[in-house]
Structure 1
Amino acid sequence: MNAHNLPFDSNRMLDGLRPWIECESPTFDAAAVSRMMALAAADLVEAGAHVETIPGTGGFGDSIRATFPHPDQGKPGILVSGHMDTVHPLGTLEKLPFRVADGKAWGPGIMDMKGGNYVFLEAMRQILKAGIQTPLPVTFLFTPDEEVGTPATRGLIEDHARNQRAVLLPEPASPDGGAVIGRYAIARFNLLTKGRPSHAGWALKDGRSAIAAMARRIPQIEGMTTEDCTFSVGVIHAGQWVNCVSSECHAEVLSMAKRQEDLDRGVAAMLDLQGEEDGTDFIVTRGVTRPVWEPQPGTMALYEIAKGIAAEIGFDLNAGSAGGGSDGNFTGAMGVPTLDSIGVRGKGLHTLDEHIQIDSLAERARLAAGLLTRIA
């Protein structure tokens, strides 16, 4: 029996996925993410896995590692790598509740990427239930900090990926339903302007506003964007009392480039902006970076397997490189065969319209089961 013909039922899968969606897990709430990990761990154990909890570090939640019974356990195999953190703060369920309508299901994190993670769990559940032995041992690694660049668990992911035959990432599918076989480079920067405080009412002219200084820098930074390297200011924090001229302003920048050399030039340009201007200091520090992942023969071989399975299921699976980072940047850049964005179909990730196509749950579970039983 071909594994992709196992009895996958989208509606039954949605019932199992719902508790995951209603367990909110924003990256910056370590306890919330750890609750989500515990929920996933219980489902993995029920599916037949041995699960270990890896305590969180750096202020982030726990990770979990699940291994499935296999005579070659411990030897090179398949790593399913996913994250359980979301960009949605606690309370988002009030604005974006789990709901179903017109063949779609909504909820925070349902597309990015709890839906895909659940799909692969269900694939392994059905494989084991059918008594099918995967050619290679399978390990799941779910981590808590991908949405902020994976500062705490990059090493953990790389250690688990090293020497594996394949890494599969159930990130959401591309808009056309396709997979990702390469990703652009990503760099983050932390910005700080330091001003001179004063009373905003009777001594305004004595102050130098850190907020105003940052405001002048934003168009300068975003104006550096080219076709080869983009810059976007996405976070700003400053001020506590409106009657005080601000002394500090913090901001964060995301930069993306298709080639490493373009990103390197962008990094140099950002660092060159530092200095003093009109009594305020501007300080730029480098944050986490995702390296360029370029398609390699091992990844292309994985894609050909996936493309063939998709054709048997009844859909075309395109592939290409993509902007937007993932943990596939790390494993792909290591040279480990990596296939990314083979999770659910949907739209609106990172927004209050985040939803999936319900029938893509079974479609992608069939693809997952095919991959897990054919990669050798």
Structure 2
Amino acid sequence: MSFDTLTFDTDAMLAGLKRWIECESPTFDVAAVNRMMDLVAADLAAVGATVTRIPGPPSLGDCVRGDFPHPRRGEPGILVMSHLDTVHPVGTLKALPFRREGTRCYGPGILDMKGGAYAGLQAIVALAKAGIETPLPVSVLYTSDEEIGSPGTRELIMQHAGQHRYILVPEPGRPGNGVVTGRYAIARFNLLAEGRPSHAGSRLKDGRSAINMMARQLIAIEEMTGDDCTFSVGVISGGQWVNCVPTTCRAEALSMAKRQADLDRGVERMLALSSENPDGTRFTVTRGVTRPVWEPDAGTLRLYELARGIAGELGWELEHGSAGGGSDANFTGAAGIPSLDGLGLLGAGYHTLEEHIEVDSLAQRTRLMAGLLTRLSA
């Protein structure tokens, strides 16, 4: 029996995926993420995987690894790597309930990336049920902080990825039914404006507003965006009492570039914004999590060619390319471990209240993953 004879019941798969989507798991809600990890750990155990629960980084949820039965288990094989944290806070289901509407299915995190993570697991399960043994042992790794740049799990990811020959990442597929063979470089920054307090009613001129400082810098930062490097501010908070001139204002910024050299120049420009004024006010930029640029090497392109051949056998053309937005494949691909990303589902609207998958891609992408697992060898 071959992978291309596998059958997938879309309705049954959606029913299983519904459980994952309705277990909301925003990154910063440790209890919620751990409930999701409980669910996936139970699903792994139910299909015969050996489950390892990995305590989470400080203030973040746990991670889970599953190793599937195989005569060569323990040898370098294939790691299917996914994250189960989302950007959607608990309660988003009220505004974005799990529902199917025609060719689409909606839900928080369904595209980024619980749908792909679920499809990856179902590919492994379908092969086992059909008695199809993969040439290499297969493991899965589910992490808890990808949406904030994987600051707490990067070392863990590289530790586990280094034990394998190939990395498969079911992040959302590229528009046009493609996969991802490279990713842009991304840097995050923490911004702090420190003003001088005063009473906003009686002594306004004595103060120096940190919010005012931040607003001016925000405009300057976003105006630095060019074709080579983009800059955006996505989080901001400041002040506590409306009758007080605010002393502090904090923000987070993101910069992205297609080439590492362009990002490095962008980092220099951001750090150069730090300043201290004669009146004691300050603006400070500190560098946060950085994802290196991932450019496809020979190992990744061989993976893509294998996937393209499998897609051709299944009757469709598989394209590839680099993509913006970060992924944990930034780390593995940049480290030279053959990695193929964007193997997940097709859809649109991720990180919004319109997040959805194309239902037909659920079986299609699961079958593609199954094909890769059966064709990859030492």
Structure 1 residue 210 corresponds to structure 2 residue 171: no
Residue deviations 1:35-80, cap 9 Å, x none? 0011011111112211111011121100000000011111111011
Q: Is the CA contact 1:47–1:121 (under 8 Å) kept in the aligned structure 2?
A: no
The sequence identity of aligned pairs, in percent, is 63
1:228-247 alignment runs, 5 A limit: 228-247=228-247
Tell me the secondary structure at the aligned position of residue 14 of structure 2.
helix
Cross-structure match for 1:373? 374
1:16-31 alignment runs, 5 A limit: 16-31=16-31
Tell me the secondary structure at the aligned position of residue 75 of structure 2.
coil
Matches of 1:196 and 1:146, distance apart in 2? 36
Cross-structure match for 2:183? 183
Tell me the secondary structure at the aligned position of residue 88 of structure 2.
coil
Deviates more, 1:103-112 or 1:3-12: 3-12
Cross-structure match for 2:255? 255
Residue deviations 1:146-170, cap 9 Å, x none? 0000000000110111152110000
Matches of 1:355 and 1:28, distance apart in 2? 23
What residue ranges of structure 1 are gaps of 5+ in the alignment?
none
Q: Is the CA contact 2:210–2:248 (under 8 Å) kept in the aligned structure 1?
A: yes
User: How far is the alpha carbon of 1:277 from its aligned partner?
Assistant: 4.1
User: How far is the alpha carbon of 1:5 from its aligned partner?
Assistant: 2.1
Q: Is the CA contact 2:193–2:249 (under 8 Å) kept in the aligned structure 1?
A: yes
Residue deviations 1:307-326, cap 9 Å, x none? 01111112111000111110
Q: Is the CA contact 1:163–1:336 (under 8 Å) kept in the aligned structure 2?
A: no
- Number of equivalences: 376
Matches of 1:198 and 1:133, distance apart in 2? 71
Cross-structure match for 1:153? 153
TM-score by length of 2: 0.98
Matches of 1:192 and 1:320, distance apart in 2? 37
Structure 1 residue 301 corresponds to structure 2 residue 308: no
What residue ranges of structure 2 are gaps of 5+ in the alignment?
none
Greater than 3 Å deviation, 4+ residue runs: none
1:336-351 alignment runs, 5 A limit: 336-351=337-352
Tell me the secondary structure at the aligned position of residue 51 of structure 2.
strand
User: How far is the alpha carbon of 1:278 from its aligned partner?
Assistant: 7.1
Structure 1 residue 318 corresponds to structure 2 residue 309: no
Q: Is the CA contact 1:188–1:254 (under 8 Å) kept in the aligned structure 2?
A: yes
Matches of 2:216 and 2:84, distance apart in 1? 37
Residue deviations 1:289-308, cap 9 Å, x none? 00011100000000011001
Tell me the secondary structure at the aligned position of residue 126 of structure 2.
helix
Q: Is the CA contact 1:209–1:246 (under 8 Å) kept in the aligned structure 2?
A: yes
1:80-119 alignment runs, 5 A limit: 80-119=80-119
Cross-structure match for 1:328? 329
Q: Is the CA contact 1:68–1:137 (under 8 Å) kept in the aligned structure 2?
A: yes
Tell me the secondary structure at the aligned position of residue 38 of structure 1.
helix
Matches of 1:90 and 1:255, distance apart in 2? 28
Tell me the secondary structure at the aligned position of residue 226 of structure 1.
coil
Residue deviations 1:93-124, cap 9 Å, x none? 01001111112110000000000000011111
Tell me the secondary structure at the aligned position of residue 87 of structure 1.
coil
Tell me the secondary structure at the aligned position of residue 15 of structure 1.
helix
Tell me the secondary structure at the aligned position of residue 363 of structure 1.
helix
Matches of 1:278 and 1:225, distance apart in 2? 29
Deviates more, 1:269-278 or 1:231-240: 269-278
- Counterpart amino acid of residue 141 in structure 1: L
Cross-structure match for 2:47? 47
User: How far is the alpha carbon of 1:276 from its aligned partner?
Assistant: 2.4
Matches of 1:163 and 1:228, distance apart in 2? 35
Matches of 1:160 and 1:133, distance apart in 2? 22
Q: Is the CA contact 1:151–1:288 (under 8 Å) kept in the aligned structure 2?
A: yes
Q: Is the CA contact 1:193–1:210 (under 8 Å) kept in the aligned structure 2?
A: yes
Matches of 1:230 and 1:163, distance apart in 2? 35
Q: Is the CA contact 1:84–1:113 (under 8 Å) kept in the aligned structure 2?
A: yes
